Amino acid sequence: MTRSDQKHDGLATGASTAAVASGAAGGAAVDVPSPKVRTINRRFEFLYFAIRNNKLILGLSIVIICFLIAIIGPLLAKYSPFQYTTSYWSPPSSRHWFGTTQDGRDVYAQFAAGMRSAFLIGTIGGVIASVVAMLVGFTAGYRAGIVDEILSMVTNIFLVIPAFAVLLVIAGFLHNVSIPVEGLLVGLLSWPWAARALRAQTFSLVARDFIGMARLSAQNSWRIIFREIAPNMSSYLFMMFILLFGGAILISATIDFIGLGPQFTFTLGKMMNEAQTNSGLLLGMWWWFIPPGIAITAIVGGLYIMNVGLDEVFNPRLREM
Amino acid sequence: MRRYFARKLLTYSLTFIAAVTVDWAIPRLMPGNPIDDLLARIGTRCNTREQCDAISSYFYNVFGLHKPLWVQYLTFWKALFQGNLGISVMSFPEPVSTLIKNAIPYTLGLLVPAILLSFWAGNKVGALAARRKILDNTVLPLSYTLTATPYQWLAMVLAWTFAVTWRFFPISGGYDPLRTPSWSFGFAGDLLYHWFLPFASLFLVQFGGWAIGMRNMIIYELESDYAHYLEALGAPRKLVRKYAYRNALLPQISGLALAIGAIVGGALVTEIVFGYPGVGSLILSAINNKDYFAIQGIFLFIIVGVLIANFIVDIMYVIIDPRTRIGMQGGS
Amino acid sequence: MSLRVENLKVYYRTLAGDVQALDGVTFGIADGEIMGLAGESGCGKSTLGNSLIYLSGRMKYVDGSVELDNKELPIADMHEMDRFRYKEVSIIPQYAMSALNPTRKIGKMAKEIIESRGVDYHSILPEFTRRLELVGLSDDVLRMFSLELSGGMKQRAVMVLSTLLNPSLLIADEITSALDVSTQKAVAEMLVEFRDRGFVKSMMVVTHDLSILHQIADTILVMYAGHLAEKAAAEVIINNPRHPYTRLLISSLPEVGVTYAKKRLTGIAGTPPALLHPPTGCRFKERCPLAFEKCVEQPPFIEVDKGHFVACWKEI
């Protein structure tokens, strides 16, 4: 693996995984005298920097607010998302906070239900993708050799095939997917970049002495992986989960927008799909399609910003810049 | 270098085989037998008795359901190599390949400029923003917002603002339906006029991701040893940034390869919003008409397109990273 | 006097406050002198070396002045300092192995750096290849990427590149610590060769390895916790050190021909003080076997013998 590849395998770059984790930055020619700060417990040190990190606080606040809307929102809805009322096509009012659709359904009720779906999809998709990524990444990085060759090849194949395209075929043939099934499918298709990143991280960890010691003492491989390797990259794993969580929400929004999502539950993507197919856009019914998009942008953007903050907390080098 | 490309080609071949297999297997694995469903639906799609029989027997033969699975699989491959993606149900008797062929120019015309320009502009702006407080404080939040935006939503917001509210641009279509396509400046202008909003939408979402990526990578590079060495020798800032930019571009290019799938997805939903007559709109009508042949064909087409794009990125990487050229990359 | 450093103070900015890594140092380096700068890690020796050429983002100039060949070095002014870098002061950095841009051929990179400093590459190229040959590198390396070179080759290429414009002062920062013993010796001898051939006028060799300095340095300056402890000719420092810290440092070195079963190697008890809030007075007093009440005041760094400076109340 080249230098640049390793950098890329940090949770760092580009459109696919927007977040900062420049890994260990290159060492400058300085010998910093050891300050007394070192003696403070590391856990408290993280907390100390965490509560002082504006990006982390901002991102976390946005996500928490969205989460609260997802939890409490549906309880406040006066209508069911599928219920037809007598006011059609009406802009936001005190009766319909977010207005109604062209056939008289309450947009707020749909929105609140959609928020719940978004967090559900994100959680299911994020957890499943993380588990697969960990299984593949840890095994490939730890075992090396032929196992690594095969797993890397599989990872690369999944990496090239666009997840949404496979979802397109699957969902196209399934008559109706439920939120959990959609989450499962999204999770099973969005793990490859994370597995590749974990493999590289595991490689570099395995090269360190303490893992070698554990190996020499003939411990069980999975025991070493979960006792020694995983805890040493827990911050990395957490940040990876956050990105997979946000990614699952974005991918499912695409699928739902095409009309292949759940039929009997509301999602934010489905709202945009209905607004689009029922000319909500042409009729200028902004209250219909603006809220779901803002919500997705807020959740995903909040997660990204949170990740940048977390990265600064976990990586002292970024902190002092 | 040969080893590098051999590996890549092996991966891509396996990917293609896997994709074709998935494409073949999914209709056969799904509950509720979509093929029966399809045959049943055909009855409602044809006009004359003769036509119905023709379609039915065609599908029956194509799927070859009475034959063993491996024969079905081989037949599928054979048809594929003959460029036969089946007959479309929604626009019978057009072959699926013709539908795709008609849609390709629009999709590529949207995708290629959007990818190249956003990659170029995002990297430039990201590099400028790095280590410049004012720019950083404006570009970064904007970029994070853009990159978190669903493609279809930005498309809707742009369409609503510039086409519905202000009427600066047309709301849908690839060209004015009152015009007949011709090689004239008037028609080209009309194409551009319809092209602009979907392009802008696609451009903006991607732009954010590239700007963030470059900004972060270049900060990393500016902190690297070679940059510090240059500075210690009094090299001007311009040279240091030039080196850092070039080296930061490498992971961005690998990022491009990773992102292509998602970008294609974004292009498709953007087309749907603007009713742009590309592959995205084709998908939508295929889904709405339960045209399974079209869905399968489009899936394969997308995979092949993504594979080709990946290969182009690989070549770009080799051109820009001398280390792959001199064979230092190795296999790992 | 080639270099004159007067009461130089450079601190490190950290979130917890300023670390007083270099707290008022005054010394000089004569023309043609190779001065070794020794001390434990964290004593401020690298900070001193680096501050003479490039103050990185976290280093903060506080006070003092630096004069090179009777010209004031504007070390606090990043931009003004550019005129002096490379041409007057140059550095072989600690990270020499990774100092070369991985995606540029070495010749091209050298060309770009040199031309960016307003020097014509083509007229300097023959000298460049001659010097590469001197350190045992053929001019093929100019057409190679740094990845194609071994660690030792990269180090030598950087040595030649850093000194190509014949700087008056060269700072060599821990350049031997990443090398094996036989290469260390060869690299150290090359430094002397560079001085003898006049590629550089004087040199400051920063290292924690006193045995290297014994081989090549004319004088040795010992630092402790951001202060100067002692400076004298290399022989004097090794054989007749007068500062208690230097004595302990020397006695903790292994000696050739001594069997350590009989004579135990002793370290220095205790740890250096944290420089975030350094103690007043002599900073060595906590660990010093000779400390007495006077040590609460900071001892001056004064000449106790010709060319022999010590900062210890016991020596005054």
Tens digits of residue pLDDT in B165-181: 898 999 888 888 888 88
**Do the domain assignments include residue B17?**
yes
Average pLDDT, chain C: 88
Do B197 and B56 have their domain in common?
no
CA distance B234 to B216: 24
Angle in degrees, CA C167, C216, C38, rounded to 5:
85
Rounded Cα distance between B197 and B191, Å, is 11
Say yes or no: B270 and B197 in one domain. yes
Same domain as B131, residue B47: no
Q: Average pLDDT over chain A, rounded to whole?
A: 81
Chain A positions in Cβ-Cβ contact with residue B296 (cut-off 8 Å):
169
Q: pTM (2 decimals)?
A: 0.86
Do B164 and B62 share a structural domain? no
Q: How far is Cα C53 from Cα C83, in angstroms, rounded to an integer?
A: 11
**Which of chain C's residues have a Cβ under 8 Å away from the Cβ of B226?**
98-102
What sign for the dihedral angle of Cα A266, A270, A271, A277?
Answer: negative
Q: pLDDT tens across B47-67, in order? A: 677 776 776 677 666 666 667
Chain B residues in contact with C112 (beta carbon < 8 A)? 235, 239
Residues of C in contact with B228 (CB under 8 A): 54, 56, 93, 95, 99
d(CA C19, CA A34): 9
Which H helix or E strand runs over B151?
helix B151-158
Kindly identify which residue of chain A lies nearest to residue C278, measuring between CA atoms.
A35
Complex confidence, ipTM: 0.91
Q: Rounded to an integer, what distance in angstroms lies between the CA atom of residue C55 and that of residue C85?
A: 12
| Residue B210 pLDDT | 95
Total count of domains within chain B: 2
Pair C302, C310: CB distance under 8 Å: yes
- Are A292 and B153 a contacting pair, CB within 8 Å? yes
Residues of C in contact with A36 (CB under 8 A): 16, 274, 276
A272 CB within 8 Å of a chain B CB: yes
CB contact under 8 A, B208 and A18: yes
| Of the partner residues A31, A37, A320, the one whose CB lies closest to the CB of residue C46 | A31
Is B225's CB within 8 Å of C95's CB? yes
- Whether B93 is in a domain gets the answer no
Alpha carbon of A158: minimum distance to chain B alpha carbons (Å):
8
User: What 8-state DSSP symbol labels residue C20?
Assistant: E
Tell me, yes or no, whether B60 and B164 share the same domain.
no
Which pair of structure tokens corresponds to residue B291? 């045209």
Measured in angstroms, the CA of A51 and the nearest CA of chain C are apart by 15
Of C84, C99, C162, which is closest to B226 when you measure between CB atoms? Answer: C99
Main-chain phi, psi angles of B46, to 5 degrees? -105, 160
Could you tell me the pLDDT band of residue A5, with boundaries at 50, 70 and 90? very low
- Residue-level pLDDT at C26: 93
**Which amino acid type is present at position A60?**
L
Contact B118, B203 (CB under 8 A): yes
Query: Which amino acid type is present at position B242?
Result: K
Q: Which residues pair with C305 in a beta bridge?
A: C308
Sign of the CA dihedral running B158, B163, B166, B168: positive
Show the domains of chain A with their CATH numbers: 110-297 (1.10.3720.10)
Mode of pairing for the β-strands spanning C59-68 and C71-72: antiparallel
- pLDDT for res B45: 60
Of C19, C94, C225, the CB nearest to A32: C19
**What whole-number distance in Å separates Cα of residue B89 and Cα of residue B107?**
22
The label of the residue with tokens 């070698």 reads A212
The predicted pLDDT at position C202 comes to 94
Which tens digit of pLDDT belongs to each residue from B272-290? 999 999 999 998 888 888 7
**B106 and B135: one domain?**
yes
- Chains B & C: contacts with CB separation below 8 Å: 75
Q: CB–CB of A296 and B150 under 8 A?
A: yes
Contact residues on chain C for B321, CB-CB shorter than 8 A: 103
Q: Do C104 and B326 touch (CB under 8 A)?
A: no
Query: Could you tell me the fold of the domain covering C3-100+166-315?
Result: Rossmann fold (3.40.50)
A59 by Cβ neighbours in 10 Å (0-12 / 13-18 / 19+) ranks as buried
- The reply to whether residue B228 touches residue C95, judged by beta carbons under 8 angstroms, is yes
Chains in contact with A, where contact means 3 or more Cβ–Cβ distances below 8 Å, are: B, C
Same domain, B325 and B225: yes
Q: Which two tokens stand for residue C159?
A: 């040595």
- CATH number of the domain to which B215 belongs: 1.10.3720.10
- Looking at the fold, whether B255 and B316 belong to one and the same domain comes out as yes
Give the span between the Cα atoms of A55 and A68, in whole angstroms. 20
- Residue B42 sits in the same domain as residue B26: no
Cα distance between residue A296 and residue A16, in whole Å: 16
Asked if B322 and C105 come within 8 Å (Cβ–Cβ), the reply is yes
> Do residues B23 and B46 both lie within one domain?
no
Q: Looking at CA atoms only, how far is residue A23 from chain C in angstroms?
A: 17
Are the C-beta atoms of residues B200 and B158 closer than 8 Å to each other? yes
CA C210 to chain CA mean position, Å: 12
Same domain, B45 and B187: no
Torsion of CA B19, B20, B21, B22, to 10 degrees: 50
Total residues belonging to chain C: 316
Torsion of CA B289, B291, B296, B299, to 10 degrees: -30
Instruction: Choose among A39, A36, A27, A32: nearest CA to C43.
Output: A32
Domain assignment present for residue B62? The answer is yes
Of C56, C87, C116, the CB nearest to B235: C116
Which other chains touch chain C, taking contact as 3+ CB pairs less than 8 Å apart?
A, B
**pLDDT tens, chain C, 316 aa long:** 789 999 999 998 877 788 888 988 999 999 999 999 998 888 888 899 999 999 887 888 999 999 999 999 999 888 889 999 999 999 999 888 889 998 889 999 999 999 999 999 999 999 999 999 999 999 899 998 888 888 888 989 999 999 999 999 999 998 877 777 788 888 889 999 999 999 999 999 998 888 888 889 999 999 999 999 999 999 999 988 999 999 888 887 766 555 555 555 567 777 788 888 888 889 998 888 888 888 899 999 989 888 899 999 988 7
The DSSP bridge pattern shows strands C302-305 and C227-233 to be: unpaired
Domain that holds residue B44: 36-66
Nearest-5° Cα angle at C22, C19 to C26: 160
Residues of chain B with pLDDT under 70: 30-47, 52, 55-56, 59-66, 326-332
The number of helices, as runs of H, and strands, as runs of E, in chain A is 15, 0
Helix, strand, coil abundance in chain C, percent, nearest 5: 35, 25, 40
Q: Which of A6-10, A245-249, C60-64, C209-213 has the highest mean pLDDT?
A: A245-249
DSSP structure string for C242-298? -SHHHHHHHHTS--TT--TTTS-----SS-PPPSSSPPSS-TTTTT-TT--GGGGSP
Token readout for A176 is: 């109706």
The size of chain A, in residues, is 321
Judged against a pLDDT cut of 50, whether residue A320 lies above it is answered with no
**CB interface of A with B, residues 172-201, below 8 Å:** 172-175, 193
B191 shares a domain with B231: yes
Backbone angles phi, psi at B232, to 5 degrees: -65, -30
Q: Nearest Cβ partner of A284 from B165, B210, B212?
A: B165
Q: Where are the domains of chain C?
A: 3-100+166-315, 101-148
